[in-house]
Amino acid sequence: MSSERQKDVADEELLERFRSGSARAFEELMRRHQTPLYNFILRSVRHPQTAEEIHQDAWLRILQGARDFQRASKFTTWAYTVARNLCIDHARKAVLRRHPSLEQPSGDEDGPSLGEVLPDRGAAVDRAAIGNELQVRIAAAVDALPAEQREVFLMREYSNLQFKEIADIVGAPENTVKSRMRYALERLQQALAEYEDYARALG
């Protein structure tokens, strides 16, 4: 069961091999999916340390649930459902801790939301990693997306999940998912256009 051969194997087959006792099959599953899953979590919770904890927790739950996994379903659907639920739990706990919502506009209706005002560490990671004005703006735009738009965008753009699968994960009709995706992409396109205007103005 070499890794070369495993590359051609479907996720579900790898999971089955893990259930047959192959730890390497599960490691291959992790190798395949941990980066997009982590980025999905990171951009959802916007806090690297929390993201890391949730990421590990998600894989632990996947590991523990592997025995009960129904082969008929898709591995990524299940894995992202687990990760998304953990992110939602985290957000709920944050609300229970009476933290003000990051998306609630501060002051009047048109004011920036708290999420836009606070220096968030997810954006900080981006800035440190890239130092690129465009990327900073795009990252800010992604962070500013409503959660339901953002999660769809992240799963489609970074995790390469199909709309139908995303619909299964978020529990919404596929058309709803697509419209959320559309809003997200148009918002990013606006951010890009603003940046291009800004860059043009700089000359």
Tokens found for residue 17: 């091999």
By CB under 8 A, tell whether 130 contacts other proteins.
Answer: yes
Distance CA 71, CA 55 (A): 23
CB 57 within 8 A of CB 85: no
- Considering only the stretches 12-20, 76-84, 93-101, 105-113, report the one whose residues sit in contact with other proteins under the rule CB under 8 A: 12-20
Distance CA 171, CA 184 (A): 18
Rule CB under 8 A: choose which of 156, 167, 168, 169 binds other proteins: 156
CB 145 within 8 A of CB 179: no
**Minimum CB separation from other proteins for residue 90, in Å?**
17
Return the bridge partners of 113, or none.
105
Rule CB under 8 A: choose which of 9, 13, 113, 163 binds other proteins: 163
Tokens found for residue 113: 């939301």
- Considering only the stretches 58-66, 81-89, 92-100, 102-110, report the one whose residues sit in contact with other proteins under the rule CB under 8 A: 58-66
Rule CB under 8 A: choose which of 67, 97, 98, 200 binds other proteins: 67
Map 115-152 to HEC letters. HHHCCCHHHHHHHHHCCCHHHHHHHHHHHHCCHHHHHH
**Minimum CB separation from other proteins for residue 134, in Å?**
6
CB 190 within 8 A of CB 138: no
Rule CB under 8 A: choose which of 9, 13, 22, 69 binds other proteins: 22
By CB under 8 A, tell whether 113 contacts other proteins.
Answer: no
Interacting residues toward other proteins by CB under 8 A: 18-23, 26-27, 30, 34-39, 42, 52, 55-56, 59-60, 63-64, 66-67, 125-126, 129-130, 132, 134-135, 138-139, 141-142, 153, 156-158, 162-163, 175, 178, 181-182, 184-189, 191-193
